[in-house]
Structure 1
Amino acid sequence: MQVPEHLETHRISRMFPLEFLYSLFYIAVVTDFDEKKKKVIQYDISKFKRGDLLEVPRTLFTHFGIYLGNNRVAHLIPDILPVLTTDEKAIEKMVNNNRLILGAIAKKASVRVDSVEDFAYGAEILLNHMDKVCSRSPFEGEEVARRAEKLMGSVVYSLLWYNCEHYVMYCRYGTSVSFQSYQFCKVVRKIVCSKTSCLISFLLCLFIMFYLETVSIFGILPTFMIPFTIWMAS
């Protein structure tokens, strides 16, 4: 069913601008990945131990999960289907991109268990790579798996503030952080808080002020305050 245009506009306008930008980025990448055929790869699960952190690099983002043993991976993934139906058999099927994208937009996700093959979707798997990045030592494997299993079920999803990386980092290291989100915010800040952006915003404010003929205190203040704020933040 198509969402009425005025309701969709109202919903998007309420989204935090930076997170909405990240949503567009994420959806574009996932859609691009779906156009490629799933590779047939046989994974050697004998090298995985319970509590291991599995990392699947994609083109521009990385997916994370916790290995539970017996070819089972717990991972947090956006999914709209649990909101629409209670059919367990349908929900248990692998999350396709339509379910994922709609879940990301609606901020609905679940921590679920899939096979290694369905989790990796034909991509290379990095094993405990975050151990080299995180300053904290990992918990014992059984403790990691226990924490992962305890969080099973529906969760509120956020591309920036609570995604699959936040989930695995909490389970393995006890700290809920996302290096991907941090890098994205860092790049956006560098673009927005630059001298070029300051100049462009100043010229744009001047144009709007004179075009609308609002040469008053209400027009002059934004003209100088917006560029000044960007300048001070750069």
Structure 2
Amino acid sequence: MNSLEDYILNHIDKESELLARLYREAHVRLLNPRMLSGHLQGRILKMLARMCRPKKILEIGTHTGYATLCLAEALPESGEIHTIEKNDEMEDFIMQQFNQSSFKKNIYLYIGDALEIIPQINGMFDMVFIDADKRLYNEYYDLIFDKVNANGIILADNTLWNRKILGKPHPNDNQTIGILAFNEKVKQDKRVEKVILPIRDGLTIIHRL
């Protein structure tokens, strides 16, 4: 073993064969494979969902579908996960993964702008996972907040943003500026409890009171 992460991965639940294959294919076929959640974060997402027992999940930013499949593992048989991906070039890759999954009947994929699609999805959510355009985290948060049930959970990925949040961002670095604004907004929001986990690139857990 070469690192602490190797040790951790050797002592937690394994990812499924489908997820392991997805991970390999992403690194062969895609330009930015490191954006997918991966083994450790995937098991954390599943564990959080298992503990929260959501019946309906919203995911903003599907990318490869890795995190989607991890969250779907924790759904009840009648549960739903609605996932939105803006990049239409990812659709074929995503659907290839979903169609191989035993959870495909629980997954609803939308291709397009999340800010336009979210208002069209009926009903309330027990869990929301935000992992899309960092410049728009505040807009996503405002849009989904009233669609989250009381005691529901909002997860936001990349909230430590490769440690760029520790310095003054370049005026043109709108993604870092977006993450900083989101972190401050959540800090000041008295409607929620919140904590940032320093795993990978930062995962914020937000509990709606």
TM > 0.5 between the two?
no
Q: Greater relative contact order (Cα 8 A, min sep 6): structure 1 or 2?
A: 1
TM-score (norm 1): 0.27
Whichever structure has more helix as a proportion of its residues is 1
Whichever structure has more strand as a proportion of its residues is 2
